[in-house]
Structure 1
Amino acid sequence: MKIFYRSRFKREFKKLPKKIQDLAEEKIEIFRKNPFDSRLDTHKLHGLLKTFWAFSVDYKNRIIFDFCDKYTIRFYSIGDHDIYW
C-alpha cells in the first residue's frame, strides 16, 4: 500500500509531541498492514468531512485520510478532533 503525505499532514505531525509522533508511527504501520484493524477504529467521517475517513492515534488524536484507489491512500491531517478545514 502506498501512502502519500500531504504537506499539511507533515506540518501538523512535526508540531506534535514526540510521544504522540512515535505512537502515530506505530499506528501507521498497523494501518499499512490492515487499514481496518480493530486497534485503529477506522471510520467514515460525516458532515463537512463526509468524503474522508479517519483512524485513531490515541483517544484524543486522529489521522484523516482518503482512498485514492485500492492501493493508494492520502493522509491529509493529524491532530485532535477539532481538525476541520
Structure 2
Amino acid sequence: MAKINLSHTSPYFERQFDKLPGHLKKIATRKILLFENNPFHPSLNTHKLKGALSLYWAFYITKAYRVMLRFLDNNEVIYYDIDTHDIYE
C-alpha cells in the first residue's frame, strides 16, 4: 500500500492520546508517522480486526498499546482509538 495521503482523528482518539504518559506520546507519534509513510511496516504488525470490529484495522505502538483505525478512500485513514489491548473489548 502507498503512503497515507491524509489522516483524520476522532474526538475519542484525541482524548485518549492526551491521557497517554509523555514517553508513550513520543513513541505513539513516531509510530503514527511510520504508519503514514509505510502502513504495513513489519514493526507495526498492522492487522485487520475480526468479528464485531471487522471494519477496523490496528497497529502496535508498543507491545501493550494499539491504534485502531479505518482505511478510507484515496489512501486516507481515520484514527478511532489508542489504548492497551483492551481496545478490542
Q: TM-score, normalised by structure 2?
A: 0.90
The answer on 1:6 being equivalent to 2:6 is no
Tell me which protein shows more helix as a share of its residues: 2
The alignment covers a number of residue pairs equal to: 85
CA displacement 1:46-67 (0-9 Å, x = unmatched): 1221110000000000000011
Aligned with residue 75 of structure 1, among 53, 56, 79 = 79
SS class of match (1:36): coil
| SS of alignment partner, residue 23 of structure 1 | helix
Aligned Cα root-mean-square deviation (Å): 1.1
Percentage identity across aligned positions?
38
Which residue of structure 1 lines up, in the alignment, with residue 55 of structure 2?
51
Question: Any stretches of 5+ residues in structure 2 without a counterpart?
Answer: none
* CA drift at 1:84: 4.2
Unmatched segments (≥5 aa) in structure 1? none
